[in-house]
């Protein structure tokens, strides 16, 4: 032990050198005291919460065990005494501090530490062996705490009076270079009471004593400046015209005002800064992409919330005029072109994209640049929330795959749809599925007279019916169990509820499963549609809308072929019925039951590998709400026998989708999570299509919705003849016969040669 060390130990100042760590930001004044690694490892589980807190110079354990060396010196086995008794109590007190830490509590700990160093015990804060709540109650019921709470405003006024006097005296001291003459002293003393009186009145008028220092803001600054300048002008008039002190130095008015504003703002800002320090947890270093209003907003939120788990380290922005500048003290490091170098240099733990309303192409570029780095990517709510001032730290969310779509979601005019649905009886088949359930959600918001949910899976039906009931919509909803191929059940339901509009979403959609079960695919997708369409015509339904798929175009799978035949059935019914029949096609729906995204996410969560059929497979993607909005808009258009599709932009490679999902999970593709290619499955194509060989897409009356015109039409008698054959149970149970008849109905139906699985090394 050195001489200095012996002196520090004797006077219990062992922690004094750690003030340097406090100034560096490694430690706080108050917080759990650091422990040596040996004991931390021994009590690792107990230390999990404690290690999340910035350590401090003093804490509750330091107060209780300020004589720790004396206690251990008296123990027969000091090591056992410390390990079994003292250290568990220190951990308990550290957790107690974490639970109840506050500005006033920290002040009490600091004050009690100082008093104990001076030999005064248990004056402000007493640490006892009672339970946690009793220990905190000892402090909160103390005289000092009650006085601080009860007389807060008089204390603030006293502080302000002291600062008024200090600023005035300092103004004289500076004006006379520290040599205040007796005449100047007399002038100071004779005018001081009047100045204090004037300033107190001005502060009351400007309500300076009503604000909470912890929330010091521009509003408070304006009030301080206004109150100070108003008082100075009144004082100037009193001195010059009231007292006639013509020799009064005019510079004192200016110096006094500047100093007083500085003192008043300084003490309030000091309290706010102290309260907003992040002592209760280690924070994540976050890089902000976007130094605009949204970025500025969120950084201010991070800095003003002491419980924020983020520490902003810098901005990235493409506006070169901002480079090198600071926003709330946070530097703009560079542009997006410099992003890779910035990440290498500053090593953020997370990247926050504060670019609300930006194009998805920009987000994909950013994601690609970040792909080699093991960082999580966050983003903010939409632009509307930002403009309305609703953005908070709590709304920071992970960047989602929806943000990386090839095109922005399509927004359409809701008024025609509302006119179609309002006051009508609406029926949705397959109501428990991804598309069906979203249809139900959007339809009930349009205030139909009633909504009939038709579904054969009871759990799915129960879930959507319960959800709609919990939302409290005014329309009547009926959860009906039934199969679309059951003619008698359908007639019973249509007789009872008399729907005006039917949305037919019930179908088998899983391509590989339908390859193994072509008879079931035909029975449900084709015969079920035929039964539904004929029932709709029989009972005078106004609109019948078939939900179809892009896989019905030049189909290569049984599922696609059956959906194409279903389209032909609906078009055939349109030619001989008063019911308005129409079809809507769209691509893959993100997040729907059985879609690739939930499967990829489960594989990523399990640690991989993520399985992709082929490196060149591409698909169209839509959001579920977007797909349903298209269905409703198409229904509102309602041209007899029409097929509608959405302008869907370009297709997305499933390999890119998988890699982006891995990146969004904070992992690195092929490094943390492997990707495995398993080859195309039966019935799958490399790319999907929205327009067939004998079709062309023309604009409809609604932007972004196209109408499909067919150059060929199928003979209704031929269609009826083939369907009649397929209604034979023996044919349906023989897969080759089903496929042969499907090929007669859909000449474009061809089954591609299955490509061999490829390996990652072949791609990379």
> Which string of DSSP letters, residue by residue, matches 438-474?
HHHHHHHTT--SEEEEEES-HHHHHHHHHHHHHHT-S
Apex 243 CA angle, 224 and 166, nearest 5:
40
Q: How many CA atoms lie within 13 A of 234 on its CB side?
A: 16
Apex 700 CA angle, 696 and 705, nearest 5:
85
Beta strand 350-353 with 284-289 is parallel
Q: Where are the beta strands (DSSP E) in 98-244?
A: none
Asked if 354 contacts 290 with a C-beta cutoff of 8 angstroms, the reply is yes
Long-range contacts of 174-181 (CB under 8 A, 24+ apart): 174/255, 175/249, 175/251, 175/252, 175/255
Residue 696 in 3-state DSSP? Answer: strand
Q: How far apart are CA 414 and CA 418, in angstroms?
A: 6
The 10 Å CB-count burial string (b at 16+, else e) for 735-752 is bebbbebbeebbebbeee
Nearest to 726 by CA among 489, 485, 494: 485
Q: How many CA atoms lie within 13 A of 5 on its CB side?
A: 2
Catalytic option among 551, 602, 605, 671: 551
- Known catalytic membership, residue 90: no
The two structure tokens encoding residue 366: 């950013």
Give the single-character DSSP code of 666: T
Q: How far apart are CA 540 and CA 558, in angstroms?
A: 32
Answer positive or negative: Cα dihedral of 216, 219, 220, 225: positive
Asked if 663 contacts 367 with a C-beta cutoff of 8 angstroms, the reply is yes
Q: How far apart are CA 246 and CA 251, in angstroms?
A: 13
Give the single-character DSSP code of 245: -
Q: How far apart are CA 210 and CA 203, in angstroms?
A: 10
The set of catalytic residues is 551
């Amino acid at each position: 032990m050195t001489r200095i060390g012996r002196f520090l130990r004797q006077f219990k100042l062992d922690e004094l050198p750690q003030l340097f760590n406090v100034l560096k930001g490694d430690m706080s004044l108050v917080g759990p005291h650091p422990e040596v690694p040996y004991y931390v490892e021994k009590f690792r589980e107990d230390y999990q919460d404690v290690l999340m807190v910035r350590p401090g110079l003093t804490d509750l354990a330091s107060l209780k065990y300020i004589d720790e060396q004396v206690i251990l010196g008296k123990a027969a086995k000091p090591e056992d005494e410390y390990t079994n008794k003292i250290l568990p109590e220190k951990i308990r007190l550290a957790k107690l501090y974490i639970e109840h830490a506050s500005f006033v509590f920290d002040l009490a700990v600091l004050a009690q530490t100082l008093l104990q160093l001076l030999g005064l015990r248990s004056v402000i804060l007493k640490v006892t062996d009672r339970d946690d709540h009793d220990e905190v109650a000892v402090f909160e019921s103390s005289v000092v705490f009650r006085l601080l709470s009860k007389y807060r405003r008089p204390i603030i006024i006293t502080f302000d009076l002291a600062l008024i006097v200090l600023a005035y005296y300092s103004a004289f001291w500076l004006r006379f270079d520290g040599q205040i003459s007796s005449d100047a002293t007399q002038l100071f003393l004779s005018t001081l009471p009047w100045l204090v009186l004037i300033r107190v009145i001005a502060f009351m008028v400007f309500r300076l004593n009503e604000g909470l220092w912890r929330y010091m803001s521009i509003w408070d600054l304006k009030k301080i400046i206004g109150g100070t300048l108003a008082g100075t002008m009144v004082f100037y008039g009193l001195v010059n015209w009231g007292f006639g002190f013509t020799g009064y130095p005019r510079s004192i008015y200016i110096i006094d005002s500047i100093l007083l504003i500085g003192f008043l703002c300084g003490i309030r800002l000091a309290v706010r800064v102290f309260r907003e320090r992040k002592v209760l947890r280690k924070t994540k270093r976050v890089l902000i992409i976007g130094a605009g209003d949204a970025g500025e907003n969120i950084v201010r939120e991070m800095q003003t919330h002491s419980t924020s788990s983020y520490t902003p380290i810098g901005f990235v922005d493409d506006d070169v005029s901002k480079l090198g500048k600071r926003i709330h003290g946070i530097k703009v490091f560079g542009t997006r072109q410099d992003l890779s170098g910035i990440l290498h240099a500053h090593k953020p733990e997370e990247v926050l994209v504060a670019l609300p309303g930006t194009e998805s192409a920009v987000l994909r570029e950013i994601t690609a640049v970040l792909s080699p780095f093991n960082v999580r990517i966050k983003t903010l709510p939409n632009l509307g929330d930002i403009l309305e001032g609703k953005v908070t730290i709590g709304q920071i969310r992970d960047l989602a795959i929806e943000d990386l779509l090839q095109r922005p979601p399509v927004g359409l005019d809701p008024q025609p749809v509302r006119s179609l649905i309002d006051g009508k009886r609406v029926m949705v088949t397959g109501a428990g599925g991804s598309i069906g359930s979203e249809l139900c959600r959007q339809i009930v918001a349009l205030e139909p007279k009633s909504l009939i949910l038709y579904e054969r899976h009871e759990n799915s039906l129960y879930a959507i019916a319960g959800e709609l009931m919990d939302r409290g919509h005014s329309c009547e909803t009926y959860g009906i169990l039934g199969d679309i191929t059951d003619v008698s059940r359908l007639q019973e339901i249509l007789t009872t509820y008399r729907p005006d509009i039917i949305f037919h979403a019930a179908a088998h959609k899983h391509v590989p499963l339908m390859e193994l079960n072509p008879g079931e695919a035909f029975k449900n997708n084709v015969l079920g549609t035929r039964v539904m369409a004929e029932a709709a015509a029989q009972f005078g339904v106004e609109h019948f809308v078939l939900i179809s798929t892009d896989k019905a175009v030049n189909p290569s799978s049984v599922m696609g072929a059956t959906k194409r035949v279903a389209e032909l059935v609906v078009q055939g019914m349109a030619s001989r019925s008063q019911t308005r029949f129409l079809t809507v096609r769209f691509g893959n729906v993100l997040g729907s039951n059985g879609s690739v995204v939930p499967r990829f996410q489960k594989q990523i969560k399990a640690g991989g590998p993520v399985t992709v059929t082929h490196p060149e497979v591409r698909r169209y993607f839509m959001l579920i709400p977007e797909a349903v909005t298209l269905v409703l808009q198409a229904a509102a258009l309602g041209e007899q026998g029409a097929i509608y599709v959405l302008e869907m932009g370009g297709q997305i490679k499933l390999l890119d989708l998988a890699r982006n999902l891995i990146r969004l999970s904070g992992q690195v593709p092929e490094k943390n999570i492997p990707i495995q290619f398993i080859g195309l499955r039966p019935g799958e194509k490399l790319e999907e299509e929205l327009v067939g060989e004998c079709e062309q897409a023309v604009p409809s009356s609604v932007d972004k919705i196209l109408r499909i015109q067919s150059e060929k039409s199928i003979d209704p008698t031929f269609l009826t003849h083939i369907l009649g054959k397929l209604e034979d149970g023996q044919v349906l149970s023989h897969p080759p016969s089903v496929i042969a008849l499907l090929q007669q109905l859909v000449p474009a139906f061809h089954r591609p040669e299955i490509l061999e699985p490829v390996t990652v090394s072949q791609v990379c």
